[in-house]
Amino acid sequence: MKFFRSVLLFCPIVCLLAQTPPPAPPQPPKSVIPPPNIQLVPEPPKAPVVVPPDTVVLTVGDVKMTAGQIDQIIDVLPEQVRPMYRGAGRKQLGDNLVKLLVLSAEGKKRGLDQTPAFKTQTMFEMANVLAGLTYAEINKEVKVDEATMRKYYDEHKAEFEEAHARHILVRIQGAPMPVRPGQKELSDTDAFAKAQDLEKQLQSGADFAALATKESDDAGSGAKGGDLGTFHHGQMVPSFDQAAFALEPGKISEPVKSQFGYHIIKLESKSTKSFDDVKGDLEKKLKPEQAQKAMEDLQKRSNVVMDPVFFNTAKQ
């Protein structure tokens, strides 16, 4: 009895599954009048049957596959399809595996497994899968010490700043959002002049929230008195981001231009998350970098020779 142990079929099965979308569920009639006293309650999906991992669940010729081996195949499929193939799509996965194994057996009959092309591709796919498993193992093993995390935190504090702000937007002609009902297109000059006038009103004591509700061309935040909530660096367009984080709490900016128009910004508050607050996030962020360094160290210790002509690295 021969069991399916090779990982070489993982890449082809991913392609095969990608080409076979799950069948669409049947659509109910557009008009259904249920009989009296009957409630149409959809039946909950049935949980997949749990099978011991060493149970042979698929046989194609002399190849036998266990439930555990199929589960290992699902582990290398794209993350978004794994739940489907562990549940309602299990039969579809089985059908695709059958197609794959039938074609593989036919290829052996034709002697295709003895060709140079097969041997080269086999070598590459084995190396590719083993490299992926090794990298995952290295990523689990690497540790990010607190000194490294603290150094990164001290050098990139801006990443951990957050601001709470309001704004009033004066739309310019050609901006991506539509003109507000009852308003007209404003040229850049006219929009800037209006923004300056609104800033003067605010500096003279006008209520920001009330003015934003009345005048802002950003309908979403305007309905909330211009409130944009809390945001981090990089979440807003660059000019807005720079101006907002440069303000002191309670202060109002001059008109700031973006592709949307002119913004008048009021900074409500600004804070920086502490090292302890972001320590977990820092470890997740820096761990792949540490794994990458470990991999580069492995490469440096290996005997690597690349033909400069073939790989186009020869000095001209």
pLDDT at res. 237: 96
pLDDT at res. 45: 58
Distances (CA, A) of 82 to 14, 85, 134, 148: 11, 5, 22, 35
Mean pLDDT, residues 161-187: 95
Mean pLDDT, residues 253-277: 97
pLDDT at res. 11: 46
pLDDT at res. 23: 47
SS3 category, 281: helix
Residue 206's Cβ-side half-sphere holds a number of Cα atoms within 13 Å equal to 19
d(CA 6, CA 48): 26
Q: What is the pLDDT of residues 181-217, one digit of tens each?
A: 989 999 999 999 999 999 999 999 999 999 999 999 9
d(CA 205, CA 188): 26
Identity at 231, one-letter amino acid code: F
| Cα dihedral sign, 180-182-185-189 | negative
pLDDT at res. 140: 87
| Torsion angles phi and psi, residue 252, rounded to 5 | -120, 135
pLDDT at res. 82: 93
Q: What is the pLDDT of residues 52-71, one digit of tens each?
A: 999 999 999 999 999 999 99
Q: What is the pLDDT of residues 274-300, one digit of tens each?
A: 999 999 999 999 998 898 999 999 999
Mean pLDDT, residues 250-257: 98
Q: What is the pLDDT of residues 9-48, one digit of tens each?
A: 444 444 555 444 444 444 443 333 333 343 444 455 566 7
CATH 3.10.50.40 fits 154-272, yes or no: yes
pLDDT at res. 7: 35
Share of the chain above pLDDT 70, in %: 85
Give the residue extent of every domain in the chain. Answer: 2-21+51-138, 154-272
Evaluate if residue 153 carries a pLDDT over 90. yes
- Max distance between CA atoms of the chain, in angstroms, equals 88
Q: What is the pLDDT of residues 92-147, one digit of tens each?
A: 999 999 999 999 999 999 999 999 999 999 999 999 999 988 988 998 888 899 99
Spell out the alpha helix ranges (H) of 142-247.
146-155, 188-203, 208-215, 219-222, 238-246
pLDDT at res. 32: 34
pLDDT at res. 44: 56
Distances (CA, A) of 233 to 169, 186, 239, 243, 246: 20, 30, 11, 11, 11
Distances (CA, A) of 19 to 212, 263, 264: 51, 48, 51
Evaluate if residue 227 carries a pLDDT over 50. yes
pLDDT at res. 209: 97
Spell out where the chain has E strands.
Answer: 2-3, 56-60, 63-66, 161-171, 227-232, 256-258, 261-272
Q: Answer for the pair 127, 8: CB distance below 8 angstroms, yes or no.
A: no
Q: Say whether pTM exceeds 0.85.
A: no
Residue 30: partners with Cβ closer than 8 Å, 6 or more residues away: none
Reference 281, options 134, 137, 156, 132; nearest CA is 156
Q: Answer for the pair 236, 244: CB distance below 8 angstroms, yes or no.
A: yes
